[in-house]
Amino acid sequence: MNLSHEVRYLLEAAGVWSLDDLGWIRITGEDRVRWLNGMVTNSIQDLKPGHGNYSFALNAQGRIQGDLNTYAEADALMLETARTQVPALMTLLDKFIIMDDVELADVSLGRVGIGLAGPKALKVLEISGHHVPLPGQRLQTLSDGVVIDIIGTYSPLVPRFEIWADELTISRILPLLAAAAQVEDGGPVSAEAVESLRLLEVTPKYGTDIRDKDLPQETNQTRALHFAKGCYLGQEIVERIRSRGAVHRSFQAFRLEGTLPAPGTPLEVDGKVVGELTSTGDVPGHGLIGLGFVRREFVERNAAILYAGGRAAPTASPKAS
């Protein structure tokens, strides 16, 4: 199967893939909710069991040190983040456990996941006998005595889900999901196709688009911020930016006209560097797309933004209508 067909699955039908790049941290202890609420940018204290939200972890200077989805359980909090982020995030969080009844555990091993996305993804879940969660909801079901997690995840374009269980259970579920997707004119997709979907969604990725020098409001990910939750690490900087009403640079999608540049390529106006492309790709049916940071003033005045090899035209959404 080629990339063009796989992208079509994700945008018009349903695509299925293995979640090899995500890891999990389990937080237990009586102080876990109060403590984590003071560590991340979103409200943990408002989460009910079976629900979750997206957050940033900041340093005292308000710079982003990682991102995560938090899901509440009756007796624990489950943090989902990139597998490569798990050690650094655990080190950061552990440093701030002082007299708190809180314990962290890397529980990535033994948890295997499947991604499912597309307009027909809900029907695929139903065909394969699974419950359908709402976005931000984490449902747990039993199959032959094994707990299966089904999560409604974020996408501004198409319904998107994750299914997690042990390796043996997932090895049984994956072909059933793939077969159900094929019934709906979809099927398995590659990591490259999922990356194409991310570019079309304009969703930044930590370590690629978001770095430890970036501030929360610069990312345009307002879904990660809660302004009435109380104090947390880095809050003073976040609140100061909010009170001033703006940041100088922001995360932005671009339609690229020219050759495909490499990530890290500078953006220029009149020979002056005004930003940087952090992710780039040639998405079948949608052309060359870039994501990156740029000074807002040049977008607002519709300046000609150039890169070595072409022009970067800002767009609210790179998805063709």
64-72 and 77-82 beta bridge pairing: antiparallel
Could you report how far apart the first and last alpha carbons of the chain are, in Å? 24
Phi, psi of 306 (to 5 degrees): -115, 160
The contacts of residue 98 (CB under 8 Å, 6+ apart) are: none
Instruction: Check whether 167 is labelled as a binding-site residue.
Output: no
In our burial notation (b when 16+ CB lie closer than 10 A, e otherwise), range 45-79 reads eebeeebbbbbbbbeeebbbbbbbbbbbeeebbbb
Structural element, H or E, at residue 117: strand 112-117
Residue 215 · residue 240 · CB < 8 Å = no
Residue 132 backbone class (left: φ over 0; alpha: ψ -120 to 50; beta: rest): beta
The annotation places the binding site for substrate at: 162
The annotation places the binding site at: 162
